[in-house]
Structure 1
Amino acid sequence: MISARDTIRVDADVATVFEFMDDPHNHAAVTPRLTGVRDVERLENGGKRLSFTYRMAGVGIDGELVQTVHEPNERMRFEMRGRLEGTIDLAFEAAGDGTDLTYAAEYDLPDGVFTSLGEPVVRRFNERQLRATLENVAERFAPGMD
């Protein structure tokens, strides 16, 4: 099981950051190596179900995300299904005029990825990708950005 967790301060209020992250197409815009988001379907809980493609170790990995928790301005939780299995949690907390956005992920990778790269390399790669995603979100709301 690979796990990673990090937090960043975003220069926007919680409602604005939550709304941005509530659009699956924005995930593709800020998440390195997420190359496709499609078949987005709204669920009764306010969340979404969608298909995605993520590139890892030169391979496109297709899967499905199902948003099992959708608590406006507080939390989102997604289950990953397919070759990548696990969860993604996003937590939103007011911090002055901004938002502390926490991204936590736990998942199992396909055996071939572990075999070819080794777990420590994959773990570091995923920690960097998670941090880059958070930095990309924060950059969207940096002063002077439209």
Structure 2
Amino acid sequence: MGVSQDIIGSLQSNGESDLSRAQRLELVVQARVSDELKKLSAQESAALKETLAKVSEVTSGDVQGDRHTVSAEVEALRARLDKRKQLRPLPESVEKARGDVVRCLTENDRRPLNCYEEVEAFKEEVRKLEKSWVDKVVR
């Protein structure tokens, strides 16, 4: 036969069966999987704690102070815009369209897309004003 006596002897002298080897291998694999799961669980716990800490920092911050700061900045910008020198008064149609946009945006502060028609009317008035200015400059 083609099988050497040494191989047959080593297989016969080995007291471990295929079943016991498979069980031992299964236990080793289970132990490694368990260790990896523990590592992943520890990493996720650390990440969760870090995220919760960041969220608590943000929520415990002075939200009212932030609102007041933004409000103050808006008022400062509004004051600067009011101080800007206007070379000549705008035509009544442009002022009316601008007022309509401001009114609509104020009424729909959470839904600015509802003011599409007012914005388009304002754009049209500005286009007319620009066209008349270009016509005056070109002539």
TM-score (norm 2): 0.25
TM-score by length of 1: 0.24
Give the structure with the larger helix fraction: 2
State which structure, 1 or 2, has the greater radius of gyration over its C-alpha atoms: 2
The higher-RCO structure (CA 8 Å, 6+ apart) is 1
